[in-house]
Structures are given as structure tokens and as C-alpha cells.
Amino acid sequence: MARRPRLLPTVGTARNLLAAGLEGIVDRAPTGSPALPLVLVACSGGPDSLALAAVAAHAAHTGRCRVGAVVVDHGLQPGSADVAARAAETVRGLGLDPVEVRTVSVDRTGMGPEAAARTARYSALDDAAAVHGAAAVLLGHTLDDQAEQVMLGLARGSGTRSLAGMPGRRGLYLRPFLELRRIDTEAICAFYGLEPWHDPTNEDRAFARSRVRQEVLPFLEDQLGPGIAQALARTARILGQDADLLEQLSSEAYAGLRTEGDDGAVLLPEDGLRALPAALRQRVLALAALELGAFQPSSERLRAAESLLDRRGSAGPVQLGGKVSVHRQVRGRAVLRGDASYGNLVLSSNGSNNGPGVKQSRRPTQE
């Protein structure tokens, strides 16, 4: 009888990480029980997602859950359909079921190619999870991906949430391998005898992420010593906790300040905004803009909106993006039915007649 290969320590670590990630999402049940929840692996055929599929297959074999997979074909490279088909065949061989390939159309309007592909991919994964009633969708991002994400955020001058990188869990999505290195997933694939596909775009210096991976992080390791990737991932973990708290506090502040004006406008009292710390004040303004359908406003746009509170110069409007603007309510102009009111910042989407610059029968008094 052939001896079973000794369990690779990295495989054991990966299994434990997945089990910890699934806590509270799936409950242990007898093997084959129809009540077992379904977990889907988002699989590209690369080392990270194939390693995750193999580890998830073990969870299925031990009766923790059912495991299927979704392979998204973006159609952006020659032969992508063949790559997707091979990935699907590989995970079926691991025992995953159901397995489906979803071909998407990537719309690059208003965003770069990476962002457009990501948007299309998550839309396909959302749909697949809904169709199959999945309890979770597993993503194969590693510590190296997290480090790259933080470095890109630093280069853009991003805020706390962006520098917090990718969360281990958000909604249906789980990233159980954020403590593993990319070399670990390659070792897991070798242990299971899997031959992963290597995405050529990962070597293409035309993409900022590839330059960070191939040039920036190795340079920092050379100049500052080993451990840069781990340090960046640790930074993301710390900032993630800070961002969660700030978002909770800003949501509470927004709920306490927000008043709905006529024509769907959102009113925020100036005195209440001034009383908030700047970190919360900017987040409250962003929440109002998002509620009205804006994209996440830039820090420059939020500071411009804050400047209206100084009551010097123009009363606005300040454009916050996504056809949402904010202006300072001028004396004598009502934004609620009834008597004229005063002392609010008014956020409205285009088409509202609340703005001070819109022609009307009664021209507001400027200060």
C-alpha cells in the first residue's frame, strides 16, 4: 500500500485559516446532509485560487459544508475561454460542485481596465451566489496582495479605509488566506499536484500593481531589509480597526444630524457639523453625498465642502461628484416647506431647484 504523503505544514495552516473564516457562517453537519450550506470559490486557475479550492475541497470532504466554484472569464486575453475551461475542469477534479464558468463583458467607461474588470467580476460572483444560494464566496487574496494594495493606496495619498486594504470578511465575501504568502499557495498547489495558470498581466509593467510587485516591493526589501510585505499587511490590519470605528461613529453622527429637505435634498446643520472632529465631519459629508447617488468624493472635494462652514466667500455650490452638489443655505431661502430657515449645508442631486445659483422667481439674498 502506498504511503500517504506527509501533510505539508502550510496546508495545515491554510485549512485552519479557512476553518476560522467559516466560523459563524457554516455549521458542522453529517457528511452528505442536504442541510449543508454551500460555499463558492472564486477561481481564476491561478496559484492562489487553486490552492484555496483544494483547501476548501478538504472542508467539503470532512462534512463542514458543500463547496462549488465560479470561474469568471473576462475575455480580455487571447485564449481566456480555454483558461477558464481548464480551471473549471481542475476544480471539478477536486470534487467541487456546482462549478460554472461565467463570461462577462468588461465596460471600461469611466474607469481603468483593472477597475472595470473587477466590477464585472464581482457582479458575476454576486449573481452566482444569489442563483445558488451560497452562504459565502471565497477569494484567494494573500498577504502579498494586501501589501501591494496598501502600497498603491500610499502612492495615491489615500485615507484610512483605503490604506486598510482588503477586509478579511465583507458581506458574503471571505479572504481566508490574507496571512499566507504567495509562495505558500504555490507550495499548496504542488502538494496537491495542481498546475496553476500564471496570468501574464502580473508581469506587465504597464500596470501599476505589477510594478509594485516586480520592482517597488523588492527594492524596499533590498534597501530596508526583509519583512516589508508583512509590515504593510500589519498596517492594513491596524488601520482596518480604526476605519471600522470611524465609520461607526460617523454613521451615528450622520443619523443624528440629517434632515430631509424638499425635493429629496439632505440638510446638515452647520453648527452640528462644526462641532464634529474633522475626521467625522468629512465622513458625514461623504455619507450624505453617497446617499444621493454620488461616487465616493475625493478629499479635495470634501475639504471644499467644509470650507462653506467658514461663511466666507461663495455659498457654493461645490460639486461632490456623481451629479451631487452642496451649497450653504442663504438667509431667507427655505429648503423645508413652511417658514424660511437658515444655517444648513444643503446637498442635492442635479435637477433639484434648491441650489442658490438656480434661476427662480425669488432670487435669494447673498451674504
Binding residues for ATP are 44-49
C-alpha dihedral sign at 100, 101, 102, 108: positive
Annotated binding site: 44-49
- Cα torsion 203, 205, 206, 211 to 10°: value is 110
Comparing C-alpha atoms, which of 141, 41, 51, 156 is closest to residue 99? Answer: 41
- Say how many C-beta atoms besides its own lie within 10 A of residue 272's C-beta: 17
Pairing of strands 318-321, 266-269: unpaired
Comparing C-alpha atoms, which of 54, 63, 27, 56 is closest to residue 40? Answer: 56
Helix (H, G, I), strand (E, B) or coil at 40: strand
Helix (H, G, I), strand (E, B) or coil at 25: coil
- Say how many C-beta atoms besides its own lie within 10 A of residue 365's C-beta: 10
> Per DSSP, what are the bridge partners of residue 268?
345
Cβ atoms of 147 and 217 closer than 8 Å? yes
Comparing C-alpha atoms, which of 283, 248, 276, 242 is closest to residue 160? Answer: 242
Q: What is the identity of the amino acid at 166?
A: M
CA angle 170, 174, 180 (to 5 degrees): 125
